[in-house]
Structure 1
Amino acid sequence: MSSSQFNRDNEYYDGETLTLVDDNGRSLPCYIEHSIEVDGITYLLLMPTDIPIVIMSWEREDDENEEVEATMLEDDSEIAEIFGNAKAVLAEQNLYLYHTAYTLTAIGELPPLEEDEILTLNIDDEDSQLEPEELQLLASFYHSERKYCIYTPLTPLLFFARYDLENRLELVSPEQENLLPILQELLFDESE
């Protein structure tokens, strides 16, 4: 995660939303869900203003087992290769895909949620105690004989950020500098 090029004094900050910018100059408009000041530093819980999008590729492990392995696309070059196809299949549903900072996003109205179109992801990490994540299937397509599916998370995508001493916005990890208690307080505020 990297610092945003914008700061609070910039025209992009209006008190309710702000724009994150990644190292590639892509932007991501976010709502400020909650903020808290600790030791003179402002910490923020941010949520994208548009619909977060996840693209997964599916590969058959074994034709006899019918097991498949899903891989979430995160590499910019992989995303660029299939982006045109993904954009086209979402446009058929009046959803418009953008390659924004830190996540893909779409603008439009989501189709009604159907139980058989929910994918539950279990994280295979013995050290992690993460809850399974549920994703809503929006569309699928093939590219170079590989199947790709486009999803949106059912739980909000949140970013944890702070202003540094030079008033620049940066994304931070809760494990970084023992910031977990601050994140928990921001999440507690959100649930009220």
Structure 2
Amino acid sequence: MSDIAAGKSGDHPTLLVRDREGHDLLCFLEHLIPLDGQDYALLSPVDTPVSLFRLREDDEPEPITSVSSSEPILSVADVVLQEHDLVLVRSAITLTVSGELEEPDQEDLEELDDEDDLDDDAETFELLVSFMVDAQEYGLYIPLDPFLVLVRMVDGQAELLSEDELDRIQPRIEAELEEREWPE
């Protein structure tokens, strides 16, 4: 069975990416980039990627970069999201949310763009839901910048890159995309 299929809209094919733990992430194929005789692909998740943060009063939200799929925090997040007809998916690479999400308010996005001019390195997120676990507040945030996944294509299959390979290939892929004038 091939991991390439027609996308929901029929415009973009989809690829299934699997991590070492056996979690899958269904992605749209955005770009196929040949480099040194090897094909690489730039993918975007079909479902909405989310990031988990620990919230503290009078302090910046603290990203939680590693959480096991059986973590009680995620069980509570599941329940909270179900109240909004959303489903938390423990995907490869990132957590995702499946379901109908409201589009971000354009005025809010314009304000964030103005703020980004001050700090181009700052990632921007929009709070999706917040919840309490053991007297600690947490939040699931949606990244407002595109969440892209770089993979190596082998026999029609998408393979995740090692950290070393990603560090080595990513600048070259970015240069190639800039040459193609993407993104504008």
Interval of TM-score (by shorter of Structure 1 and Structure 2): 0.7 to 0.9
Q: Return the TM-score normalized by structure 2.
A: 0.76
Q: Which moved more, 1:173-182 or 1:97-106?
A: 173-182
Q: Provide the secondary structure at the position in 2 that maps to 1:87.
A: helix
Contact 1:162 1:169 in 2 (8 A): yes
Alignment of 1:20 with 2:17, yes or no, is: yes
1:98 aligns with 2:89: yes
Give the drift of 1:83. 0.9
Bigger shift: 154-163 or 140-149?
Answer: 154-163
Deviations along 1:28-79, one digit per CA (max 9) or x if unpaired, are 011110011122100111110110011101234xxxxxx3242212223387
- Matching residue of 1:71: 62
* Structure 2 portions without partners, runs of 5+: 7-12, 114-118
CA distance in structure 2 between the partners assigned to 1:168 and 1:146 by the alignment: 38
**2: CA distance between counterparts of 1:130 and 1:172?**
27
Structure 1's consecutive aligned runs of 4 or more residues displaced over 4 angstroms after TM superposition are: 172-175
Instruction: Say which of 171, 177, 191 aligns to 2:183.
Output: 191
Matched residue count: 169
Residue 141 (structure 2) aligns with: 151
Shift of residue 176, structure 1, vs aligned partner:
2.8
5+ residue gaps, structure 1: 1-9, 61-66, 121-128
Change (3 A) 1:108 1:33: same
1:42-61 correspondence runs (5 A)? 42-60=39-57
Distance 2:103 2:59 in 1: 26
Q: Which whole-Å CA distance do the structure 1 matches of 2:46 and 2:128 have between them?
A: 18
Q: CA deviation at 1:172?
A: 5.3
Change (3 A) 1:133 1:11: same
Task: With the length of structure 1 as denominator, give the TM-score of the two structures.
Answer: 0.74
What is the Cα-based RMSD across aligned positions, in Å?
3.2
Q: 2:34 maps to which residue?
A: 37
